[in-house]
Amino acid sequence: MNQLQHIAIIGASAAGVAAAGAMRRGGFDGTITLHDGGRHLPYERPPLSKSAVSRGLKEIQSATSYAELEIELLLGQRAVALTTDREVIFDSAPTIRPDRVLLATGVSARRLPVSGAELHNVLYLRDAGDAEALSAELHRGGPLVLVGGGFIGLEIAAVARTLGIDVTVVETQERPLFNVVGPEVGGLITALHHDRGVRIITGREVTAMRGSKAVEEVVLSDGRVLPAATVVVGVGVVPNDQLVRTHGVKLSGGVVVDAHGQTDDPWIWAAGDVAVRRHRHLRRVGRIEHWDTAQRHGATVGSSMVGDLQEDTAVPYVWSDQYELSYQAFGRGEPTDQVVLRDGAQPDEFLAFSLSEGRVHAVAGINRPRDVRAGRSLVESGATVSAEALRDPATNLRRLPVLGGATK
Ligand SMILES: Cc1cc2nc3c(=O)[nH]c(=O)nc-3n(C[C@H](O)[C@H](O)[C@H](O)COP(=O)(O)OP(=O)(O)OC[C@H]3O[C@@H](n4cnc5c(N)ncnc54)[C@H](O)[C@@H]3O)c2cc1C
């Protein structure tokens, strides 16, 4: 590692900041430059969709901590190219020639390709600027139409309903979150929002938006027209992998990396949402879009880049706050899994397990934090357990009889 003098990190958010800290704490004493196209001190993204009241941005760490760790935080520097001469070119900063580069560039909101999508008041939510614009619109009132019933859309629905705004969610699948949590859990969360007065239209697409300057109407595939003062589009994300698209690095819906975060070009590494990887507790290679996981991955890749090879093996964790409730999940289910709901499930309190061949691959719940944490151990162990026992509210998950050997 002695030859490493300068590591550049592109993207200063969950993954990039964690990587920089891990490099320094791991004993790397060369130059670490942390570049971001944004101008805010790195902040947490999850709070952006959970409140319409601006309480200021929650910084990931204090401004002084970067200086203390001798991390050069360079804001307002957007990288525009990585050259084959191992240079990083920026839009408004001098070109650098680091010994290694980490892509921690995250993802961007997928744009909705329909006419009228460019109208004023058609918003997306990824960063601080988006959150500010949304907050201003919500305080002017509704109706609000949310295109896409994913976690971010539903969190915004909850915030808007709390402000008394008329909210409609338009979702192409048969249920919100269908692809993420399956029909059973999706059904419970749908009911939660119905109960709070959210109108949910499923199995329909938005085909156009109309208005003179600002959006006024949303047109659906069945011809229905919804009035709208604001539209928020949450139809998924695309990886920010533009820097390496022409570089020859392997891409597959993101930047493909090995267990330590290295791409097939030893100069380039990737971490966080942009990285496509195999994970010990997931059955499919892919990207993971969770805050905690991006931080853990960033830290392990950062350590690996300075010679201490590490792998992120923690069961992926995600949460989503809706109304006064918190949804939490460890692991990831697949569409072919058997979903076992603990008896007595209600929209505002439930526990669900995704099983395949008797093994728990994911646990999710609302208002059951201890059980969800206990469920994580089941995902970790890979032991075979009984669906009946999981279904029974009397079963103590920490003492669940194991039917078969652990496989992990
Ligand atoms: C509104 C919202 C709510 C969320 N809520 C939750 C939640 O409740 N729970 C949860 O687990 N996860 C949540 N997430 C997901 C979580 O925030 C992400 O998984 C996490 O931010 C990923 O971190 P990252 O560092 O990989 O990328 P990002 O946070 O996307 O950061 C990438 C950074 O790279 C910078 N960048 C990109 N391209 C360039 C370039 N060319 N040059 C310089 N800089 C560049 C960007 O400016 C950005 O700062 C939420 C996300 C959003 C947007």
Q: Band the pLDDT of 405: cuts 50, 70, 90.
A: low
pLDDT on residue 382: 87
Distance 12 CA to ligand 1 centre (A): 9
Q: Please give the distance, rounded to the nearest whole angstrom, from the Cα atom of residue 392 to the centre of ligand 1.
A: 38
Where does the pLDDT of residue 398 fall: very low under 50, low under 70, confident under 90, or very high at 90 and above? Answer: confident
Structure tokens at 104: 């921690």
Task: For domain 324-399, give the CATH number.
Answer: 3.30.390.30
Backbone angles phi, psi at 245, to 5 degrees: -65, -30
Å from CA of 232 to ligand 1 middle: 18
pLDDT at 373 over 80: yes
How far does residue 13's CA lie from ligand 1's centre (Å)?
6
Cβ of 294 below 6 Å from ligand 1? yes
Q: What are the sequence ranges of the domains in the chain?
A: 6-108+237-305, 122-233, 324-399
> Does the beta carbon of 13 sit less than 6 angstroms from any atom of ligand 1?
yes
Average pLDDT, the chain: 94
Give residue 176's pLDDT.
Answer: 84
pLDDT of residue 407: 52
384 in helix, strand or coil?
strand
Q: Can you tell me whether residue 219 is helix, strand or coil?
A: strand
402 has a pLDDT exceeding 80? no
CA 288/CA 280 separation, integer angstroms:
13
pLDDT at 251: 98
Q: Tens digits of per-residue pLDDT, 29-49?
A: 999 999 999 999 999 999 999
- Contacts of residue 167, Cβ cutoff 8 Å, sequence gap at least 6: 142, 143, 144, 145, 146, 157, 160, 161, 197, 198, 199
Backbone angles phi, psi at 269, to 5 degrees: -125, 165
More confident residue, 54 or 287: 287
Superfamily of domain 122-233: FAD/NAD(P)-binding domain (3.50.50.60)
Higher pLDDT: 282 or 54? It is 282
pLDDT higher for 55 or 271? 271
| Helix 151-162 × helix 128-140 angle, to 10° | 40
CA distances from 94 to 75, 246, 301 (A): 13, 21, 26
- The whole-angstrom separation of Cα 33 and Cα 208 is 44
Identify the CA nearest to 339 among candidates 175, 174, 182.
Answer: 182
Which of 255, 242, 274, 290 has its CA nearest to residue 44? Answer: 290
**Does 362 sit in the ligand 1 pocket, CB within 6 Å?**
no
Calculate mean pLDDT across residues 238-262. Answer: 96
Dihedral sign, CA of 48, 50, 54, 56? negative
Under the banding of pLDDT at 50, 70 and 90, the label for residue 230 is very high
Residue 406 has pLDDT above 60, yes or no: no
The confidence score (pLDDT) of residue 359 equals 95
Query: Beta strands 325-331 and 317-322: pairing type?
Result: antiparallel
Question: What's the gap in Å between 272 CA and the centre of ligand 1?
Answer: 8
Closest-lying ligand 1 atom to the alpha carbon of residue 273: 26
Asked if domains 6-108+237-305 and 324-399 share a fold, the reply is no
Minimal-distance CA residue to ligand 1 atom 5: 46
The distance in angstroms from the start CA to the end CA of the chain is 32
Report the topology of domain 6-108+237-305.
FAD/NAD(P)-binding domain (3.50.50)
pLDDT at 408 over 60: no
Question: With 60 as the cut, is the pLDDT of residue 305 above it?
Answer: yes
Residue 89 CA to residue 85 CA, distance in Å, equals: 11
| pLDDT tens string 106-146 | 999 999 999 999 999 999 999 999 999 999 999 999 899 99
| Residue 54, pLDDT score | 64
Q: Among 49-58, 206-215, 304-313, 380-389, which stretch is predicted with the lowest mean pLDDT?
A: 49-58
- Please give the pLDDT value at position 403: 74
Label residue 379 by pLDDT band (50, 70, 90): very high
Dihedral (CA of 18, 19, 21, 26) sign: positive
% of the chain with per-residue pLDDT over 90: 89
